[in-house]
Structure 1
């Protein structure tokens, strides 16, 4: 039903989080769907990460943003779920009151060496005499540069309507050097929320 709309990522903390190291590189939205703020019930949160500890941390972070409406997959999808086909799983979720599911999947981690130059002191008058010129440039040449490893995490986030049984939003983000899983999840949520607002997918109150 088109009138059953979801409040999945109307997350108040987003506006307080800096998401400068995360960018959206691709996104899509269902043009016939708009999320409203008061017509949702229950959201299944799924983080598809190989590391079990990281998976649970990521799901816990996303559930916190949903203010009591989110349910982690590690507590809901038990051994019997793996033996269900998609029709049976959807039936179970609808019976249990779920309106939506949000998934986060790690696509790639790219490492690259980035050169950080040494200190370069540039002053307008440093050519005024030899002593000043020498000392300024000696600091520059005697302070070696170095290489650091930059990590880029590419994450796919999908939003499904269980009521309508379809994908309603998708996005791929890049995050550089996140400080742990919590920071990574925060930044992705922040970036996606801003994108959804900008494209009109989330209704402004």
Structure 2
């Protein structure tokens, strides 16, 4: 039901900016969130580091604990050697009817040119007039050009430069366990993943926006 993501939407849309964007998405044309009846959903984060897995799953599950559940409580080292059919049977026995998965795909490093800035003086005015008058910045009318230029030119112009940015690609899927099929999928890319909680929030926000855009999720009510 739509209530699966109501709390998630409220949390995500409070963020003004984001370092995460959608690269691609897909949906089952015959499925929408409004018609799928997800009452108990498993959250699976496929990452190599166990602590990151747990923190990611807990972050998502905490949004709506009545519906969302971290997978490490059900799929862990104790049943690692079970077949896919046996694992699916465990989830169905536990009453799960949906799964949200997150999987790290790759990291790409890109070199980008950042243009310089010119003609900006921060609104301080011309030295010697207003703020600069009578040495307001330590420079009076009697100061030589060399001192004047050395003091103010750096703030007036900064050259362009090259920087390396690393983008992290993550795949997010929604599965319908009742019919054992994928119903929605998206790939996102994030520029900064130093804060796991923030990155997870941004991925969820991007996914919610995309689900609305492609019709899998009902538009936001006005």
| TMscore range, shorter length | 0.7 to 0.9
Q: Match for 2:16 among 18, 24, 29?
A: 18
Cα distance in 1 between the residues matched to 2:94 and 2:157 = 67
Runs (5+) with no aligned partner, structure 1: none
Please list, as runs of the form range in 1=range in 2, the aligned pairs for 1:157-168 lying within 5 A after superposition. Answer: 157-168=172-183
Q: Give, in angstroms, the shift of residue 140 of structure 1.
A: 6.8
1:153-195 CA distance string (max 9 Å, x none)? 1001111111110000111011112341111100000000011
Among residues 103, 106, 125, which one is paired with 1:105 in the alignment?
103
Kindly report which structure 2 residues correspond to 1:182-197, keeping only aligned pairs within 5 A, or say none.
182-197=197-212
RMSD: 3.3
Q: Does residue 9 of the first structure (1) align with residue 2 of the second (2)? A: no
How far residue 47 of structure 1 moved from its aligned partner, in angstroms, is 0.7
What's the offset of the Cα at 1:108?
0.9
1:46 matches 2:34: no
Between the aligned partners of 1:160 and 1:81, the Cα distance in structure 2 is 21
- Equivalent in the alignment of 1:203: 218
Q: What do the CA deviations read for 1:57-84 (whole angstroms, capped 9, x no partner)?
A: 1111111223431111222113343222
State the distance in 2 between where 1:142 and 1:199 align.
Answer: 44
Does the CA contact (< 8 Å) of 2:101 and 2:174 recur in 1?
A: yes
Q: What is residue 130 of structure 2 aligned with on the other side?
A: none
Structure 1 position 177 matched with structure 2 position 185: no
Q: 2:68 aligns with which of 51, 67, 70?
A: 70
The 2-side partners of 1:9 and 1:19 are apart by 20
Report if the CA contact (8 A) 2:23-2:189 is conserved: yes
User: 1:61 maps to which residue?
Assistant: 59
Say if 1:19 and 1:185 are closer, same or farther in 2 by CA, change over 3 A: farther
Distance in 1 separating the partners of 2:105 and 2:16 = 23
Aligned equivalents of 2:204, 2:108: Cα separation in 1: 21
Structure with higher Rg: it is 2
> CA shift at 1:143, angstroms?
5.5
TM (norm. structure 2) is 0.74
- Which residue number in structure 1 is paired with residue 149 of structure 2? 135
